[in-house]
């Protein structure tokens, strides 16, 4: 849950500096930092917090990739079916 809040906050803040691509980078950086510092606060080691935060980022990147490929595939299908 905290990764979502951190991602939204990061996206909003980075949007002011880099209007289009800043949202994506802000999402990743905000999520990473929020999860990392929360795990440190819970008493996890830095190495453990690093692994958990990396897992969150990998999950975000993979899910964005799957969404993008699905949208492209549906778009191509619709364009071919119209023609």
What is the arithmetic mean of pLDDT over 5-25? 78
CA dihedral 40, 50, 22, 76 (to 10 degrees): -130
Decide if 56 contacts 35 (C-beta within 8 A): yes
**pLDDT tens-digit map of 48-74:** 999 999 998 898 889 889 999 999 999
**pLDDT tens-digit map of 28-39:** 888 888 889 999
């Amino acid at each position: 849950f905290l990764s979502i809040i951190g991602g939204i906050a990061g996206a909003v803040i980075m949007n002011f500096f880099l209007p289009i691509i800043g949202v994506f980078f802000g999402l990743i950086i905000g999520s990473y930092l929020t999860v990392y510092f929360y795990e440190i606060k819970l008493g996890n080691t830095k190495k453990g917090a690093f692994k958990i935060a990396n897992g969150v980022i990998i999950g975000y990147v993979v899910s964005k990739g799957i969404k993008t490929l699905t949208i492209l595939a549906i778009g191509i299908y619709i364009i071919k079916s119209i023609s």
